[in-house]
Amino acid sequence: MEYTYAEMHFHTSETSKCGEVSAAESIPVFKKNGYDLVCITDHFNERYFSPDCDKKEVWAKEIEEWMAGWYAAREAAEKCGLTVIHGVEIQLKGHFCELLVYGLTEDDFRENIRMFDMTVEELSEMAKRKGLFIAIAHPFRSSDRPDPRFYQGAEIYNRAEETRFTEGFDINHNRQAAEFAEQNGLIPLCGQDFHEWAHFIGFRTRFHGEVRDVKTMIEKLLAREFDLLLPNGVVVPAK
């Protein structure tokens, strides 16, 4: 069987304030290490924009600046033969949790001024209209978990969530996330949540068959035609 090896959660220093590696540097390395596809999921929330961004001309300028990471990743991918998909890690106003969204286009970002002001319900309706895929990222990083009816997936393996400490107790957030996904019928995802080279530890999503565009990727996600590959060699089927 042909496989497509993907990274589903990836930040660039060109856009994400916490990103420490540029897309120009990181994309070729992912390619050399056997990845076929990388989803660019830079942070997207009101802290990345000015108070005047509700004005059309201001938004037009600032959204282009925000997409710098995507543009750089696309250029680097074209040079090395890797597929990149434009995703986003959005934090909606009034929420601490973050949602991974796949399927939005450049024009969706340009046309939906202050998209982070949407409610979860509004984002879910947009996803239905446009065929998007939404997953909650690292769902146990906080207690803020919106109603699972409004998204299709959950990130059950996140590099940063392997072990976290709360009030002196060792809590495996990935285990809790896996239980949460199973209990709510959510599609499981994994990601390195890449920001810096220390995060490059080997999480992969292995899609069954060729994936070269976001439409095919979302179809594979919904059909659970993929496996989660963990750094310790464990293979977790999505079905």
pLDDT of the residue at 173: 87
pLDDT of the residue at 162: 56
Q: State the Cα–Cα distance between residues 183 and 189, nearest whole angstrom.
A: 15
DSSP the chain: --EEEEEEEE--TTT-TT--S-HHHHHHHHHHTT--EEEE--EESGGGS-TTTTSHHHHHHHHHHHTHHHHHHHHHHHHHT-EEEEEEEE--TT-SS-EEEE---HHHHHHSTTGGGS-HHHHHHHHHHHT-EEEESSTTSSS----GGG-SEEEEEEGGGSSEEETTEEE-HHHHHHHHHHHTTPEEEEE--BSSGGG-S--EEEEES---SHHHHHHHHHHT-EEEE-TTS-EEE--
Residue entry with tokens 């590099």? 159
pLDDT of the residue at 165: 43
pLDDT of the residue at 169: 34
Average pLDDT for 41-53? 97
Average pLDDT for 163-180? 65
Closest C-alpha among 197, 229, 167 to residue 35: 229
For the entire predicted model, the pTM comes to 0.95
What's the pLDDT tens digit per position in 88-139?
999 999 999 999 999 999 999 999 999 999 999 999 999 999 999 999 999 9
pLDDT of the residue at 167: 41
Q: For 3-237, which CATH class?
A: alpha beta
What's the pLDDT tens digit per position in 187-204?
999 999 999 998 999 899
What's the pLDDT tens digit per position in 133-157?
999 999 998 899 999 999 999 999 9
Domain ranges of the chain: 3-237
Average pLDDT for 209-219? 98
